[in-house]
Amino acid sequence: MAGEPLGWDEYQAEAVETEALPYGIRPRPVKYYCLRCGREVLKEELEARPVLYCPYCGFRIFIKMRDPASGYIRRVYAV
């Protein structure tokens, strides 16, 4: 289950329970997805090593996981 992407409810549950930033924004854990073994790796785990590689398989290519609810702003209307 460590390699499967998280659903919205699970992602919300993993939000860091710290003091909220302005406008009610809560910091979320930054996760990366290893392309070889498919496991999720936290940013803190990667920063603990001098060289960026997967602690499980040694591969060096990752994809940054995004919040499923995040989208892109397509247009901004002037007021």
Average pLDDT over residues 32-46: 92
pLDDT at 3 over 60: no
For residue 32, what are the β-bridge partners? Answer: 41, 64
Cα 27–Cα 30–Cα 33 angle in degrees, nearest 5: 155
Percent of the chain, pLDDT > 70? 65
Q: In the structure, what pLDDT confidence band is assigned to residue 54 with cuts at 50, 70 and 90? A: very high
What's the Cα-to-Cα distance from 28 to each of 14, 42, 58, 74, rounded to whole Å? 7, 11, 25, 24
